[in-house]
Structure 1
């Protein structure tokens, strides 16, 4: 039987009120993973994953791959979904039907209309006189929908699933001793505030920073940037308080297009306004982010960075265990933490987690093949929700799964949640990807 008394026979630490036992595996001389600072982006409204990733790529182009001291910056997406796309499409369809059905079902025109027109829209306006009025009404409708949905989000916080995904990732950052800068745009600010509060419960506050861009939240934790003609945030003033304006931007007619020629009539877009290199406000955003990155202080690490890693948490008391079957046949768990390819360096036996396993960053130790990742309700965790997250050094989060735990299974794994395939190409480059 596992004994809580055993906690005091090794190295002990407190993480957010939960007692965890940690051991550090020696780092090899041929380490293929480097110390990193985390740039975590929390996206805004009406943003698909692809669009959010594109925005993240632009942040990387602006701020570079390394800090002044050559420490690597890892850019990660802390995605939150916008469930209002259907509302925008429906609004567009209604407006187009007002033109005697001439433009019905031409949804591809929606984005051209909102981003300043384009060849199609120009042709339509020239051919259908009322289309210009339709566009004006469309802008008003879209702004109303955006404001309504942000107001609803303020009153009714997002789903616990998104929060849990963010918290589990932050647990991993904190365990591995990462500096963290959170950058949020629009709706993302409603997620970044609880993320920051959670992060500073896991890591020193000097290691965590926030920059708010066009915040929909009335409360900001760090510096913020807000344009005077941001119609979305200005509309929120009607239903509550918002932060003060910091910068002026030109009227729409005089406003230069932003990244990839994108424009935004609402004055709220990240690429169109706040990262627009032709607007002075982008220099403010760049300066705040660079200052935020430079001001972070390296925290101590309590777990090693892996070529890929797993982080297990659960929502209450109990002892939930991580089980890893490595490609070479080694079974890694609390009774045998040292594998041939990796190490279970954080093991929690009391409550909440985290538990942490990493596959070695040594090119000589890392094994190619399939890793099976499972969990067991060792004791006292029946009915708890356990969350397992897998992340790789090169790609960030590969997957997150939450499951409700059944009865106690002791040392027997109850479910395999992930398989991870590690490959090595002809150039000697390792890659990790989730299996089917």
Structure 2
């Protein structure tokens, strides 16, 4: 039976098996020995990946140089923590689901859902909302026949799609953040709009997973629809942000805290006064100064976490949801099967194992221990009571990253699944003729 406690720690180099004669030099990237911070942009609803990437790149262009200039030997990397859009209506439903999770008794949006399910007419729904909510006539006016009919016709499927996407995004984001912390990197998130709701959930989960790293992860919220912040996070929301104003009619939302109106002749904002780049990050707006100071404050106060997970030529990490146990498995070129019963392989080591839900788990091969041949990375659903999603990320010694790849697991297999894990990656390593590793990933 599998041991029921978390085994976290780095296996000492003195305990590693000697490298095989066929080992290659597998690392060409730089970064060891530097103070590293991962900066993520968490986007709002109805956002294409290309636009999230533009926002992340804009943050890089503004902040990378100044932040690295403050602290010697520090590096900052910028990435999107992408919230996939399922379309405007589904995204809106997803926000309502997140608000219901925040406060099940305080969500007027779910009151509308209940009335739709009960078969009330559109006029009856609007009349009920207008009476039940302070200034409810504003929300009632927004509940057009088209929107209510669309919700009624497609509510069940949209709700299922939105909830599935919500859970997958939470799993992905918490996995990204936990993985960086295990690898000794601070995590700084800049969240916009719905991204604040995802960030609250993800940070709360990561802090539950890695409470010792609570002071190494933080975020700054922009145009937040959330009712609260997690881990003492600061935020900025404009008084005339029309998106947040409308949501505030039906939901509990953090108060607006800035007058962001630069005057009619010098206003670069979009019509809703809500967009991240044009309505908050533009240097002509008061919000920009608040964002600058918030990011600098985090850069000055977040602690660098202790390195727990090893890295090198190959590194595979696993995270999942709240089911008790999913296991990381690696089959090495020489035939070694590395997993919880055999954490030390011929090449690499399973140095982080978890059995209490969420993960993470970590396998790595040191830079000079990688062998020519194929490494097969997979997962086994060891113990749980329902479907689960595993997220596996592969990091290589040439600085490239693959994933996270998500694997849907329908039921637990116990130890019977150890010899046939679900495949996540197949990595083939070859010799470039000079003793250096070349990687090919499927």
Query: Quick one: which of 349, 363, 376 aligns to 1:358?
Result: 363
Q: 1:401 to 1:230 in 2, by over 3 A?
A: same
- Matches of 2:44 and 2:196 in 1, distance apart? 8
Question: CA–CA distance in 1 between the matches of 2:86 and 2:307?
Answer: 37
Counterpart of 1:73 in structure 2 is: 76
Q: Which runs of 5+ in 2 are unaligned?
A: 15-24, 92-141, 152-157
Q: After superposition, give the CA deviation of every residue in 1:182-235 in whole Å (9 maximum; x if it has no partner).
A: 221011111111122122221432212120001111323311112233221222
Give distance in 2, aligned partners of 1:355 and 1:293.
Answer: 25
Q: 1:21-420 alignment to 2 at 5 Å? A: 21-26=8-13, 32-34=30-32, 35-64=35-64, 67=68, 68-85=71-88, 159-201=166-208, 202-203=210-211, 204-221=213-230, 222-242=233-253, 243-251=255-263, 254-256=266-268, 264-306=270-312, 307-313=314-320, 315-318=322-325, 320-327=326-333, 329-348=335-354, 350-352=355-357, 354=359, 356-360=361-365, 362=367, 364-367=368-371, 370-377=374-381, 380-381=383-384, 383=386, 385=388, 387-392=390-395, 394-395=400-401, 397-408=403-414, 409=416, 411-420=418-427
**TM-score, normalised with respect to structure 2:** 0.67
Verify the 8 A CA contact 2:183 2:308 in the aligned structure 1: yes
Cα deviation for residue 399 of structure 1 reads 2.0
Deviation readout 1:350-381 (Å, 9 max, x if unpaired): 4326252334362x334566431122355x54
Q: Would you say how many aligned residue pairs link Structure 1 and Structure 2?
A: 354
The one of the two structures with greater contact order (alpha-carbon pairs below 8 A, sep at least 6) is 2
Q: Which moved more, 1:353-362 or 1:61-70?
A: 353-362
Cα distance change on mapping 1:396 and 1:373 into 2, 3 Å: closer
Q: Residues of 1 paired with 2:258 and 2:341: CA distance?
A: 56
User: Which one is further off, 295-304 or 399-408?
Assistant: 399-408
Which is worse superposed, 282-291 or 210-219? 282-291
1:159 and 1:353, CA in 2 relative to 1: closer, same or farther beyond 3 A?
closer
Distance 2:171 2:374 in 1: 27
**2:58 alignment partner, SS class:** helix
**Deviation at residue 52 of structure 1 after TM alignment:** 0.8
Q: Between 395-404 and 205-214, report the one with greater CA deviation.
A: 395-404
Q: CA RMSD, aligned part only?
A: 4.0
Q: What displacement does 1:64 show?
A: 0.7
Task: Report which of the two has the higher share of helix.
Answer: 2
* Aligned CA distance change for structure 1 residues 246 and 300 (closer, same or farther; 3 Å): same
Single out whichever of 69-78 and 369-378 deviates more from structure 2.
369-378
Distance change in 2, residues 1:367/1:413 (3 Å): same
Asked if the contact 2:375/2:428 (under 8 Å) is kept, the reply is yes
Classify 1:353/1:159 alpha carbon distance in 2 versus 1 (closer, same or farther; 3 Å).
closer
Change (3 A) 1:30 1:416: closer
1:13 — aligned with what?
none
String of CA shifts for 1:259-300, please: whole Å, max 9, x gaps.
Answer: xxxx62211111112221333422321221121122101222
Q: CA deviation at 1:335?
A: 4.1
SS in 1 for 2:294: helix
Cα distance in 1 between the residues matched to 2:437 and 2:287: 40
Distance 1:311 1:413 in 2: 17
